[in-house]
Amino acid sequence: MTALLFSWALTLAGIMLAAAMGCAVYRMVRGPRAQDRILALDSFYASGMLLMLTFGIKSGTTLYFEAALVIALLGFAGTVALAKFLMRGEVIE
């Protein structure tokens, strides 16, 4: 009984995080400006990372941890590069 409730709770959390990613995608598509899209992409990455962790808890393995860490790293690098591009029109000066 507890196990069932637990897995439902985690599924619900996963759905909420997926909905958060959906909101970010909507903002990414709608814009209206480039900075909105980049902000949405950053939020998308963060929610995706948290979704990975939730999967990890649900399946009881720590394997998802590395995936989450890599998503966080890539999200940071990507957003910084895009923000820099927005500021100057080039990534590496």
* 4 to 43: interface string for other proteins, x by CB under 8 A: -xxx-xx-xxx-xx-xxxxxx-xx-----xxxx-xxx-xx
Using DSSP's 3-state secondary structure scheme, residue 79 falls into helix
Contact present, 72 and 49 (Cβ < 8 Å): yes
Residue 74 in the binding site for other proteins (CB under 8 A): no
Distances 20 to 13, 40, 85, 91 between C-alpha atoms, Å: 11, 10, 26, 29
At 91, list the tokens. Answer: 């990534």
List interacting residues with other proteins (CB under 8 A).
2-3, 5-7, 9-10, 12-14, 16-17, 19-24, 26-27, 33-36, 38-40, 42-43, 46-47, 49-50, 53-54, 56-62, 65, 68-69, 72-73, 76, 79-80, 83-84, 86-87
